[in-house]
Chain A
């Protein structure tokens, strides 16, 4: 099925057709107006019967053009016929006007320019040659003897040169315009392809996520019912087996979820929806949620809430995700001690730091820490269940905000400080 053209293209074509019609009629109207105008000059030396015959020919050709040629010929053939006919009409007019004719040579430029702008170069050149033949014919017709006068020859030569120059100039102009038009059309088409591809990828990711999560959600849900004995008691061996299934499914779900998040962030499918947020309140919310979940651990979570901070333009849910990752890591790798969260504004930057007294990180691992699947050696000894993607996702989100994330530590068992900075004005 033919694809429907966009409305702007349809409008442009209609506009162009309208202009073409006006240009088509204009040559004939100008010729007729000149004939009638000449009638007003008392000292005219014009054969009136030939002039009226020319008007009749113009009207007859116009009828032929619109009733037959317009309907049955392609656009280029139609314009070719019309341009040749126009040259003949203008040449005839110049001959009929005799002495006055020399003032109307410029009329040749109308069909020549139209041909050069819309037809192939060779066809435009043929039309120019027809015009040149009329010039030559006129020179010989007006000569007194066998040879024309040198003045008339010079004048004719200049007229022919001018006709050819105008043909070449209009042709070059047409090529330039066509190139620009093609470049614009290509850019629009390329943009459309990109948009379609982006849409297709977004749909693909959504459906992939749906198809992967549907069986996982059932395995996770049912195994949680068994694990928490909602469906009744199990034997110790069954309980142990179900526990493994449950924990593995949770890890699998987290992994798939994080991989899909990365894929969405990297392919630009996740939009950062910025809004004005009081960052200290957002941190407070997250800290309170974590404080509820760590009562059994000998870890204290302290948020040194600052006063009078200006709101920051950020995506609240995405930065909440970053805070979750950093706090979750800090709690996971701190068996005893305090975790301190601070938030400071320096000019146009806000810095959020999470400082723990836990496992620490070796300096050589600092840069690798924000790469996918990297996990420090001492961290692996403490916990091998993480996906190794959390800090990578945090980095992608912070960078999407135009910010930076980094880590500082004095080494193993000497605590760690993660800091991320976000620009206030973005």
Chain B
């Protein structure tokens, strides 16, 4: 597949442990209109897969469940290639907080 710069950033964000759409938006500074289509595409091409968080627990706490995204093995490979191709990404993330923020 074609890996554009924004795709590479999203791949890297996922590899760094960001798992939620808004979390990736916050971490990368990309717009929601950019991040979500990329996530859809990664999922369609089996580089990422998504699941719903603990539904019962969230409901009990009065909160709606969140959908989280993880890289597949192919996706991790793609993320490595993306960093190799766009080394600037890693530098950009070095200052950002790790994924724990939105865990």
Q: Do chains A and B stick together as partners?
A: no
* Interface residues, chain A, with chain B CB atoms under 8 Å away: none
Using a CB–CB cutoff of 8 Å, the interface residues on chain B facing chain A are: none
